[in-house]
Amino acid sequence: MTITIEAAEHNGVPLRVAVPEGTPRGGVIVLHQAPGYTPQIAEWLQRLAENGYAAVAPLLHHRRGVEQLDPFEFGGIEEFALALPGDDTVAADIAEAADYLRRQGIDTANIGALGFSFGGRAALVAALNGSVAAATSYYANGIIEPGYGDNLGLPALADRLGGLTTPWLGLFGADDFLLAEGELDAIEEALRILDTHAEVIRYPGAGHAFDMEEFMPGAPSPLIPEAAADARTRTLAFFEQHLS
């Protein structure tokens, strides 16, 4: 099956969309990493469509008129963090992506979110807000401790985790340099009291972006093939369980 990614727009939000043959079993909003839309997101749009989901990726930097930001153009990590859209802005784009899917005939109860790093945190926020029926986050940072410097629009989420009612799957490299010490333990402790399906999976020996051949130009590849394959399997099984 050849899946074509199409460009679309909904209420001013540019989208990249992939749809399956026949009637979709559900919809998934795919949320990119901090720099923007990349081949990683395109691959997931196609993968989800191949598995029967209508998949849509909002371009979260559209207010700047670009698909991607170059972190090195901002002079440093702190400056780049300040350039990122905050939770309220991203939530508005997620809402438009969800509305787009509903207009394709997909029920709200069958719409999920999948995000990576910055987008992984955004997927968790969508779950906390009750904006989606299920969410999966790959190596989300900034959950227990602030992960975006002085960007007040991206606060830590520790005080909100106890109110999570939406099923959530968190996939993490155990050696992720962006995680605060003990952060995964703290997330698991906060989730332990919940009635909903909320789970953290740790991959020993894996770091940030463990599913990517290249994360930063010139840096060693972070790819851990076994972890990436397991995470893909778990993600699809999770959506099978909660969105079908």
Whole-structure pTM value: 0.97
What are the chain's domains? 6-243 (3.40.50.1820)
Residue 158 DSSP one-character state: G
Question: Given this model, what pLDDT does residue 1 score?
Answer: 62
Question: Given this model, what pLDDT does residue 214 score?
Answer: 86
What is the amino acid identity at position 18?
A
How far is C-alpha 77 from the chain's CA centre? 20
Residue pLDDT tens, the chain, 244 long:
689 999 999 999 999 999 999 999 999 999 999 999 999 999 999 999 999 999 999 999 999 999 999 998 998 899 999 999 999 999 999 999 999 999 999 999 999 999 999 999 999 999 999 999 999 999 999 999 999 999 999 999 999 999 999 999 999 999 999 999 999 999 999 999 999 999 999 999 999 999 999 887 777 999 999 999 999 999 999 999 999 7
Tell me how far apart the alpha carbons of residues 81 and 94 are, in angstroms, rounded to a whole number: 20
Helix axes 225-243, 39-50, angle to 10 degrees: 50
Tell me how far apart the alpha carbons of residues 177 and 22 are, in angstroms, rounded to a whole number: 42
Locate 70 and state its tokens: 């170059």
How far is C-alpha 122 from the chain's CA centre? 6
Locate 200 and state its tokens: 């953290």
Residue from 135, 143, 109 nearest 199 by CA: 135
